[in-house]
Amino acid sequence: MSVDVDETFALGGDLPVRRLGLGTGGLVGAGYWGPRAERPASVALLRTAVARGVTLIDTADNYGPHLAEELVAEALHPYGEDLVVSTKGGVVRTGPDEWHAAGRPEELRAMCEASLRRLRLDRIDLYQLHRFDPAVPPAEQLGTLAELRAEGKIRHIGLNTVTADQLREALSVVPVASVQNPYNLLDRSSAELLALCEERGIAFLPYYPLGSGALTRESAAALTAVAAEHGASTGQIALAWLLRHSPVLCPTPGTGSPDHLAENLDAATVQLTPQEVSLLNGLAE
């Protein structure tokens, strides 16, 4: 017997997406700086993902910086009616792996409007605060996003790298449609946050769903045994487990490789049994 899985999730209650999406961090260079591949190859990969049924594209203004958003627009605009493009603001990148939070109202507003131009959109479906700026009161940052939402520039608000307490505080100020935090087979540090998202019907977009590649190399006997049973890779099993672990988890693994893209998307077809899920649940212990 396999574990039944809902294939879609309604972001904000009104935007249905297929739960296995595509992140665009893999389209830019090391440290999220510059290009990773020739532009036509990245454009082709984005188009292939959508042709394969991906309806959630997750990007950010500081990937490149700006490059990932430009690639999304070049590849996919005009966007299909069922395609949801999510982006992030609130971080300024100054070099490879160098960034700082920028959450003053004028900064967030300028970032959002620049993303609208790059993505060729009148409204961003999901706009996520990439980090809370410790120098700016959280209510002030959230208030700016609420204003942008009221102006019709963003549809739904999301948060990136938060605690459960920060999400509770945010929910007292604005509706929150999504969070992004690390979560995978080996890293369950955001378990409390995940439980809160389940309670409130909030999407949880786990970043590093493959542990930055660690899970594709993981040699734990349980993981390799389950992979062998399904004729799948360990990475596919890790993604299949996320889809079955919680109905609000919406992984968006990134890649610049067409072969890896196909492998990731095929993970949605892996039907884990309850016994296999239980076995994999124990990997983080």
Report domain extents, the chain. 15-180
Predicted local distance difference test score (pLDDT) of residue 219: 65
3-state helix/strand/coil string of the chain = CCCCCCCEEEECCCEEEECCCEECHHHECHHHECECCCHHHHHHHHHHHHHCCCCEEECCCCCECCHHHHHHHHHHCCCCCCCEEEEEECEEEEECCEEEECCCHHHHHHHHHHHHHHHCCCCEEEEEECCCCCCCCHHHHHHHHHHHHHCCCEEEEEEECCCHHHHHHHHCCCCCCEEECECCCCCCCCHHHHHHHHHHCCEECCECCCHHHHHHHCCCHHHHHHHHHHCCCHHHHHHHHHHHHCCCECCCCECCCHHHHHHHHHHHHCCCCHHHHHHHHHHHC
Q: Which residues of the chain have pLDDT under 70?
A: 1-5, 213, 216-219
3-state helix, strand, coil in the chain (%, to 5): 45, 20, 35
- Provide the whole-model pTM: 0.95
Q: Residue 170 is encoded by which pair of tokens? A: 């945010």
Predicted local distance difference test score (pLDDT) of residue 211: 80
63 assigned to active site: yes
Predicted local distance difference test score (pLDDT) of residue 6: 76
- Indicate which residue of 63, 127, 183, 207 is catalytic: 63
Instruction: Encode pLDDT of 175-187 as tens digits.
Output: 999 999 999 999 9
Predicted local distance difference test score (pLDDT) of residue 168: 98
Predicted local distance difference test score (pLDDT) of residue 213: 67
CA separation (Å) from 180 to 30, 39, 229, 269? 21, 27, 31, 24
Give the CATH number of domain 15-180; options: 2.170.150.20, 3.20.20.100, 3.90.550.40, 3.40.50.300.
3.20.20.100
Predicted local distance difference test score (pLDDT) of residue 37: 95
Instruction: Encode pLDDT of 187-228 as tens digits.
Output: 999 999 999 999 999 999 999 898 876 776 666 888 999 999
Quick one: how far is CA 64 from the chain centroid?
17
| Cα 120 to Cα 123: distance, rounded to the nearest angstrom | 9
